[in-house]
A and B are shown apart, each in its own frame.
Chain A
Amino acid sequence: MAFTTMVGARIKRREDPRLITGRATYVDDVKLVGMLHAAFVRSPYAHAKIGNIDTAAAKKHPGVAGVFTAKDMQGKGMAPGLPVAPQIEGLVSPDHFPLTTDEVNCLGEGVAVVVATDPYVARDAAELVKVSYTPLPVVVDLEKAAAGAPYVHDHVKTNIAFSMPFVSGDVDGAFKAADVVVKERIVNQRLLPSAIEPRACIGSWDRGMGTMTLWSSTQIPHILRTQLALTLSVPETKMRVIAPEVGGGFGSKLNVYADEAIVCWLSRALGKPVKYVETRTENHHQTTHGRDQIQFVEVAAKKDGTVLGLRVKILANMGAYHQVLTPAIPTLTVLMLSGPYAIKNIAYDLQAVFTNTMSTDAYRGAGRPEATFLLERAMDLLARELKLDPAEVRRKNFIPSSAFPYTTATGLTYDTGDYPKTLDKVLELSDYKGLRAQQKSLREQGRYLGIGVSTYVEVCGFGPSMALPAPGWESATIRVEPTGSVTVMTGTSPHGQGEETTFAQIVGDRLGVPIESVNVVHGDTDRVQYGVGIFGSRGTAVGGAALWLAIDSIQEKAKLFAAHAWEANPADVEWREGKMWVRGDDSRSMTIGEVAFAAFRADKLPPGVEPFLDATRRFEPANFVYPFGAHICVVEVDKETGDVKLVKYFAVDDCGKVINPMIVDGQLHGGIAQGIGQALFEEAVYDEDGQLLTGTFMNYAVPHAEQMIDFELARTVTPTDVNPLGVKGIGEAGTIGSTPAVANAVIDALAPFGVKHLDMPLKPEKVWKAMQRTGDGKP
């Protein structure tokens, strides 16, 4: 791989000037002629039978173009249900019509939709729709729902969406042979993804052309096009999806939402474009949630800390319905139960459970943070039980660096790794020994410092198509224009990942053009060849690999033109320093721009070569990629209040080769902050009636800038052989590594009070109560 100047450089994101000066175009900035606005009538109940829906007053309200319920749509160009991708044996998939038909099963479910000349009028008229509800018993608690009635979907007589038992190795034998067994019940709480831009969409039906265009704040424009073509009975050739600027997704925009189908349907019914922009409260209520598992873990180990076996039972909350990937998320948790450790004997029992809550689905990390948190808490529990250093217990269990590729007990094959290297580096970076000494001396002064260690490996770069419930390949087109500037069309749909910069760096280096002359186009199904989208840290690992192949094709074709011009053998033409040369002859070179013009002009075509210089390639990865790392967090707990103060944060991550270190740092900063959010602040809380008590940012605490500290980052580089760039994903690693590091730090601070485990979020009150356990508060 001949990286030269741009790849590996800290180049500022080319996207940022338009984003930070307010010149980006989001869906809500798009205004179409004659556009109408939709507002939903949403259920105030978490579970109720729907009786009469009286829309008469709303229909009469000035400015209202129409009021619609499920009955208006059923059988009239709207498919019976929204799609669910995973094919899991025995999966119970309840009907999920875009508007509720006769029963609501979670708070905020759409009952009717009002369309009006402006969004305020639509909202006013929505208040005039009278719905008669008969409340039904609500079940919110995961363990109660798993135990039986009341049922979320009464006709299926179970709340279990699917069960997945698994055993590998001799687990019973491992527990019999163990010197020690540690057990814990761990809650991985529900989170709200909280993208800064709420979801928004516009459906626009062109009556003359018979085409449907959807603008949507989505991570997956092409997949959405395919699904909506099916849902709306529009030929896929006449369906276009545009994702303009997307203000963050974190997995919550990796879906096919009811409103996306409904605005298209409404536009076709009314003959005008229809826009829907969710409010922040609607975002909290009806955009997918993340996490929400209860895990029962048992670890069997030898006295020296060697883990012999792992037994895990997981209850995973699906919510009331399956969205596109809902059931798949906890299957990633169980696949990653070995983590970076050589655990041969693993048994798990995964139960996916319906409750009267919003659907869970992908959220930054999607299943892997839950696995890492479980393992990293278990490692600390074991270290505490055996009075061993937590870092050393991890080291003892690491998969040896010589063992890669390594097949885990759960059936994954890790590509490359060197786990002791990241651990050593973070211990050195943090002066771990010094921290432990400081902790000891501060404890003597009645101050409680906590040091939390977390080591992780995660599965990403989704991924091999055969291992996913959806296609896992990615596409790229490169077009070298007659003037020598380069258009890149990527099938990924970046929305904060920085590919407009990193992809231009790669192209710039390999084709010898400045990044300013590379334009990266994405997010429009009529401009870009079919692509899969961005999720699962796949943008560069899969999308970048497709780009790499396309550059290969461009380089090969360009060589034919250069060879023809020089009357040389194409095999003697080589790419060097961004130009083509005849091997061993420094007197003549040719640039990509010169070739592009020759290929466009086509008056001196090499024999058998087509005009123009462009190429489209697709990359199907043979495996996932497995980035890894080691994080250390230092906190101080306020004895009087239980408030946790972040003191230091160190992270050593390995995502293989790095295209742009600044963007990798940025992904880690955001990821770590989000992981800290789960550990300390964030928690979506439903009460027993299924009302969301955290329906606004007044009561759902995302991390604020003032709560953060400087993160000290370092990296090791262990390239993967899964893709030609040697890169692994880094979008989710920070979140996966940080949550357990922070939680372990807080629990470590509380060790003098006999605390072994606390569930997240580690809010001051919880921490304070834990410190009151010894009565007088003294350790």
Chain B
Amino acid sequence: MMPASFEYARAASVAEAIALLHKHGADAKLLAGGHSLVPMMKLRLARPSVLIDIGRLRELAGIKHEGGRFTIGALTTHAALAASKELEKRAPALWDAANQLGDPQVRNRGTIGGACAHADPSADYPAVMLALDARLHVEGQKGKREIPADKFFVGTFETALGDGDILTAISFADAPNSAYAKFHSPASHYAVVGVAVSLTLKSGAIAASRLAVTGVGDIAFRATAAEKALIGGKADDAEAGRRACSGMASGVEVRGDTFASGDYRKAMTEVFAARAIRIALKRA
């Protein structure tokens, strides 16, 4: 596989990366783990003329937990997330997703920031970000800002990041009653259906919920009707999720491919939503 020719620049700091992005404009792409971008370049589906390698900006890697909130550096690998006991205990939806993402090689190289910025409609993290109500920390020419997940994922391979913006970190509050359930393609290991859920329990009942789906539409989305239907459900009611999720994908424009048709994806969305909810409730 032979990518088209491109220039390569390695940034020594976030500021330098921003300056390089500014200099090269829309022709430039940031390179982190390279596990989404490089395959597309090899197929010549992506042809950036400049790659700005931020892979060695170690200040962008790492998992911090403070005051009930996680801040995860954009260059943190899937493998590091999958190995985090803190994450497993306090925000298991992301831990679930990191553990089910790709294969060991992909998990060792690929990064959370790269995956979120790539915004593949079958990627795992967008659903998790939506369910965790994450904030995506961005630095650009005009300084720093935070974008809520609900506004970050705009479309297929499209985010709210502007030219010259770098995703530096992701933060979210503890979500101990969260889970991610995935039906993966046996070929690509991408999500055929992936459902992330985060539940807030009060007195043995669901007080608040966020439920998000990936792999099904042209973008990860929240299933707001099902979120509402979950409220008040008893934590010990094994069928609560199934009832609330019935028909949840009915209005969605669903993709189909050689592995799974649109109708099947719809049906599986309900199944995997119910599974995610069951797991999240068990974590109570």
Contact = CB atoms under 8 A, between A and B. Distances in A.
A685 B264 contact: no
Contacts of B187: 681, 697-702
Closest 8 CB pairs of A and B: A701-B187, A123-B2, A701-B186, A698-B188, A765-B264, A640-B271, A279-B1, A685-B258
Contacts of B7: none
Contacts of A706: 103
A87 interface: no
Interface in A699-716: 699-702, 704, 706-707
A750 to B, nearest CB: 16
Interface string A635-657: 00000110100000000000000
Interface of A: 39, 119-120, 123-124, 279-281, 640-641, 643, 680-681, 683, 685, 693-694, 696-702, 704, 706-707, 763-765, 768-769
B15 interface: no
A702 to B, nearest CB: 8
B261 interface: yes
Nearest to A700: B187
Contacts of B190: 698
B5 A699 contact: no
B243 to A, nearest CB: 15
30 contacts: A39-B2, A119-B2, A120-B5, A123-B2, A124-B4, A279-B1, A279-B2, A640-B271, A641-B183, A641-B271, A680-B186, A683-B258, A693-B258, A694-B258, A698-B187, A698-B188, A699-B185, A699-B257, A699-B258, A699-B259, A702-B187, A706-B103, A707-B186, A764-B183, A764-B264, A765-B259, A765-B260, A768-B264, A768-B267, A769-B264
B96 to A, nearest CB: 16
A696 B43 contact: yes
B68 to A, nearest CB: 35
A683 B2 CA distance: 26
Interface residues of B, number: 23
A699 B2 contact: no
Interface string B180-195: 0001011110100000
B268 interface: yes
A685 B256 CA distance: 14
Given A640-B271, A699-B258, A763-B260, 5 more contacts: A120-B5, A124-B5, A641-B268, A701-B187, A706-B103
Contacts of B3: 120
Contacts of B260: 763-765
A261 B267 CA distance: 51
A652 to B, nearest CB: 28
A769 to B, nearest CB: 8
B128 to A, nearest CB: 21
A768 B264 CA distance: 9
A641 B183 CA distance: 9
Interface string B157-191: 00000000000000000000000000101111010
Contact of A704 (B1, B43, B103): B103
A694 B43 CA distance: 14
B120 to A, nearest CB: 11
A704 B105 CA distance: 13
**Residue of B187, B257, B260 ringed by the most chain A CB atoms within 10 A:** B187
A763 B264 CA distance: 12
A763 B259 contact: yes
A654 B24 CA distance: 66
A763 B186 CA distance: 10
Contacts of B261: 765
Contacts of B2: 39, 119-120, 123, 279
B257 to A, nearest CB: 7
A713 B260 CA distance: 34
Interface in B200-218: none
Contacts of B271: 640-641
A764 B267 CA distance: 12
Contacts of A643: 183
Contacts of B4: 124
B1 A280 contact: yes
**Residue of A681, A704, A765 ringed by the most chain B CB atoms within 10 A:** A765
Contacts of B188: 697-699
Contacts of A681: 186-187
Interface in B49-97: none
Interface in B4-27: 4-5
A693 B187 CA distance: 13
Interface in B241-264: 257-261, 264
Contacts of B5: 120, 124
Nearest to A707: B186
Nearest to A118: B2
**Residue of B5, B190, B264 ringed by the most chain A CB atoms within 10 A:** B264
Given A119-B2, A279-B2, A696-B43, A704 B186 contact: yes
B191 to A, nearest CB: 13
